[in-house]
């Protein structure tokens, strides 16, 4: 009988990162891979949006990618390009083979 961690790892591929279920294909730093974009989680985490003066606002996005697809966990403060748009990484965690990466960019 598989252990709990084995079941979770199988769910990463078969459910959560399955492009027929939750994930979609996106281009991350020039590489096409399955990505789950979860802006609802950001609402729960932040509870209020950041805004700046003069029509500039902060766009935030939370993505999940498989560690084996992405490579090394990115450093906080570094840049990441998602579908041709550049963001700054404000948080990145490895959650048992799944990276959650919080992105932020100023937009107008």
Q: What is the pLDDT of residues 49-82, one digit of tens each?
A: 455 556 677 788 999 999 999 999 999 999 999 9
Domain that holds residue 100: 4-107
CATH number at residue 43: 2.40.10
N- to C-terminal Cα distance for the chain? 53
pTM of the full structure: 0.81
For the record, the structure tokens of 98 come out as 């799944």
Beta strands in 38-97 (DSSP E): 57-66, 79-82, 85-94
Q: How many domains does the chain have?
A: 1
Tell me the three state secondary structure of residue 22: coil
């Amino acid at each position: 009988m598989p252990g709990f961690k084995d079941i979770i790892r199988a769910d990463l591929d078969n459910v959560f990162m399955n492009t027929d279920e939750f994930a979609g294909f996106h281009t991350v730093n020039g590489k096409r891979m399955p990505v789950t974009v979860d802006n609802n989680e950001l609402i729960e985490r932040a509870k209020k949006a950041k805004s700046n003066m003069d029509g500039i606002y902060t766009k935030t996005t939370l993505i999940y990618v498989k560690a084996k697809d992405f490579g090394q966990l990115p450093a906080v403060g570094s840049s990441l390009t998602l579908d041709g748009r550049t963001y700054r990484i404000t948080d990145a965690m490895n959650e048992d083979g799944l990276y959650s990466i919080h992105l932020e960019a100023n937009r107008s």
